[in-house]
Amino acid sequence: MTEKRKSIHGSWSGRLAFVLAATGSAVGLGNIWKFPYIAGENGGGAFVLVYLACIAVIGIPIMMAEVMLGRRGRQSPINTMRSLAKEAGANPAWRWLGWAGVLAGFLILSYYSVIAGWALAYVFRAAAGTFTGATAEGIASIFEQLTGDPERLLAWHTLFMVMTMIVVARGVRSGLEQAVRFLVPALFVLLILLDGYALASGAFDEGLAFLFTPDFSKISANGVLIAMGHAFFTLSLGMGAIMVYGSYLPERASIARTSITIAFLDTLVALMAGMAIFPIVFVNGLEPGAGPGLIFQTLPIAFGHMPGGALFGTLFFVLLVFAAWTSAISLIEPAVAWLVENRGMTRIYASVYAGIATWAFGLLTVLSFNTWADFKPLYFIEIFEHYTIFDLLDYLTANIMLPLGGLFIALFSVWVMRRNDSVQELDMGDSSAYGLWYVLVRYVTPIAVLLVFLNVTGLIELSGLSGQTE
Ligand code: PHE
């Protein structure tokens, strides 16, 4: 048995704190902003089913693998991978997996912060009563005014990045644990309220049918990739966020139980958001495939018409900001932990460094919604024909980098790491539950990820070369 490492960054106060922090990382814009709009764009029910299957079969096992590697390595993902590779007698090049994660986190946060900025802006709009009595068109124009103005977007993006840097600089224990303890329950209460409004709206059945009646003719190979990519994105997998959080996890905590809890809460939030949004979409004759603006164009309608809407609307967007905030800090934590370990920086310097770089790159996303809205860098590849820089960044990270990262994490945990070590770390004994995990991570996950990739690569080639529609 190798000697246990200790993290120089400290640790969570206990298992509950880890569950809260990891849930805080998982529950974010992905659940409330992204899930509904990509489900809407990709035909609804069939997409949701593929997404749920990916969470169960790929997401949970990979989350367990990531927490396990983190807890065993007890360092930033880069150094964790380096140490664990050494311990297993494998090639030190595995540390590049850590680097790929840092890069993915950087790219994701650069646009994530811009969208979180929209949520910040909406806190003030809701509080000022801007939505009260407004029509669907009125609400849509409020959204366009915001995204059409690069200066405003920049201001909100800057504010959100500063908020993120402050929390990361203070360290994960003070502040973060407290915030999440309140956030997760409050978010549930507000979503229940919105679901209640949707239930009374008159189109609840239609909304449910859209989300839960699978029609496989409506989903493309690319749609399947997007569903799988989203399973990684929404659970924060494949880039080291969960790994670095796992590195602060106390020794005696069941990784399996913890991972299942986190995945369950995360999925619940996404489905509740979907059930609130689609009835509002249908009753107002809106387009389910409206894109990234979907929740900003639907939920304000509900707030504008329910009693106490200004108050609930404000609360909702405050919670959305919190949800995004607790995710943002986990996106940047792997980079910050590395800067502290290898560059000898204090957490404060490390956060400022990483934060400013991410902020600057975020300008590309700010401009994607206005000045450069017509700039479609990959217009010559059919499926990317209409993709702005923001769309491409989102596609590259969520659908390619995270699944690839997850694939290599899976490969490392069961092909490179010694079986004894994972038995010991997962602490389930050599039981049938362990056996199931092992088979899923060893065979099912890699094959599933590869199949989806191959399918889509074929699709891109076809559409790129012949220019035919799918
Ligand atoms: N899971 C977060 C969300 O759903 C986003 C995220 C992705 C956070 C990857 C960390 C790592 O919003």
Q: Give the domain ranges of the chain.
A: 15-456
Cα dist from 263 to 55, 157, 281, whole Å: 7, 28, 27
User: Given 1.10.4160, 3.30.160, 2.40.10, 1.20.1260, which CATH number is that of 15-456?
Assistant: 1.10.4160
Q: Which atom of ligand 1 is nearest to the CA of 31?
A: 4
- Ligand 1 touching residue 122 (CB < 6 A): no
Q: Whose CA is nearest to atom 6 of ligand 1?
A: 236
Q: Which residue has the tokens 């979503």?
A: 191
- Ligand 1 touching residue 232 (CB < 6 A): no
**What is the DSSP secondary structure assignment for residue 110, as one 8-state letter?**
H
Instruction: Identify the pLDDT of residue 240.
Output: 96
Q: Which atom of ligand 1 is nearest to the CA of 327?
A: 8
Please answer whether residues 441 and 413 qualify as being in contact, where contact means their C-beta atoms are separated by less than 8 angstroms. yes
Instruction: Identify the pLDDT of residue 453.
Output: 87
Q: Which range (101-105, 172-176, 194-198) has the least confidence?
A: 172-176
- Ligand 1 touching residue 330 (CB < 6 A): yes
Instruction: Identify the pLDDT of residue 470.
Output: 42
Q: How confident is the model at residue 176 (pLDDT cuts 50, 70, 90)?
A: low
Please answer whether residues 87 and 267 qualify as being in contact, where contact means their C-beta atoms are separated by less than 8 angstroms. no
Instruction: Identify the pLDDT of residue 11.
Output: 79
Gap from CA of 107 to ligand 1 centroid (Å): 12
Q: Which atom of ligand 1 is nearest to the CA of 266?
A: 4
Q: Name the residue type at position 366.
A: V
Instruction: Identify the pLDDT of residue 452.
Output: 87
- Ligand 1 touching residue 106 (CB < 6 A): no
Q: Whose CA is nearest to atom 9 of ligand 1?
A: 236
Please answer whether residues 214 and 378 qualify as being in contact, where contact means their C-beta atoms are separated by less than 8 angstroms. no
- The percentage of the chain sitting over the pLDDT mark of 90, rounded to a whole number, equals 77
Paired tokens of 459: 């699709």
pLDDT mean over 160-180: 81
Q: Which range (89-98, 185-194, 289-298, 403-412) has the least confidence?
A: 185-194
pLDDT mean over 100-109: 98
- Ligand 1 touching residue 331 (CB < 6 A): yes
CA angle 50/380/453 to nearest 5° reads 30
Gap from CA of 22 to ligand 1 centroid (Å): 10
Q: Which atom of ligand 1 is nearest to the CA of 233?
A: 7
Please answer whether residues 46 and 218 qualify as being in contact, where contact means their C-beta atoms are separated by less than 8 angstroms. yes
Instruction: Identify the pLDDT of residue 463.
Output: 66
Please answer whether residues 142 and 130 qualify as being in contact, where contact means their C-beta atoms are separated by less than 8 angstroms. yes
Paired tokens of 256: 């399996």
Residue pLDDT, tens place only, 216-254 = 999 999 999 999 999 999 999 999 999 999 998 888 778
